[in-house]
Amino acid sequence: MRYIFKNVKYSIALFIAFISTAYILSELTKVFQKKQVVGLIYKESTIKNFIMAGVGEERFLLKGKEIIDKKNIIKMYDIEFEYKRETAPIFLKSKYANIYIDNKLVELKDELLITIGNVSIFTPSLNIFLDKKIATNTEEVTVKSDEKVYTTGKNLYIDIEKNILKLENVKTVIRGS
């Protein structure tokens, strides 16, 4: 179980790195637009059916139906994030994400799924605080490692730098063959 949570923390750290990159690109775009067209007020930009890929050491694929950049908030819909590595790939899927640039907060909502090899983690939402490098939620979390074993709990807390994962009210069910 410790291995599973270490990989979850790693997956979240990679997602945070992606969000940070998105923020930097957003800021560069704003500066470029302001210098090119004087007097134009930037309101928002939208990209539909997007795919972003990373190659080399950071091999990842991010797909989604829509990204909307509204200056201080970036909204994403129907996102799928896959980090490819030599061991089991890490896969993250969420219906909805908000990235609050000023607060350095990422909200993942609706049908959130994180998969590492044969381990799947389901939860309705996850908040990632980029400046503190922690992730939390107050809702139920389900971890399934195969068809016979699953764990549930609430109040997920992950400290990415300190490698701490806490889950309260934990219940594990192991079904016989």
**SS3 for the chain, per residue?**
CHHHHHHHHHHHHHHHHHHHHHHHHHHHHHHHHHHHCCCCCCCCEEEEEEEEEECCCCCEEEEEEEEEECCCEEEEEEEEEEECCCCCCEEEEEEEEEEECCCCEEEEEEEEEEEECCEEEEEEEEEEECCCCEEECCCCEEEECCCCEEEEEEEEEEECCCCEEEEEEEEEEECCC
pLDDT at 35: 47
| Residue that wins the pLDDT comparison between 22 and 95 | 95
pLDDT at 13: 54
Quick check: 174 pLDDT over 80? Answer: yes
| Residue that wins the pLDDT comparison between 102 and 55 | 102
Using a pLDDT cut of 70, give the percent of the chain over it.
73
Whole-structure pTM value: 0.67
Output the CA–CA distances (angstroms, integers) from residue 36 to 70, 76, 83, 116, 126, in the order listed: 19, 27, 36, 44, 38
Quick check: 1 pLDDT over 60? Answer: no
pLDDT at 153: 92
pLDDT in tens, 82-137: 877 777 777 889 999 898 988 888 898 998 998 877 778 899 998 988 888 888 89
pLDDT at 139: 92
| Residue that wins the pLDDT comparison between 4 and 67 | 67
Name the pLDDT band for 11 (thresholds 50, 70, 90): low
Please tell me the total count of domains within the chain.
Answer: 1
Domain housing 53: 2-174
Q: Is 147 left (phi over 0), alpha (psi -120 to 50) or beta?
A: alpha
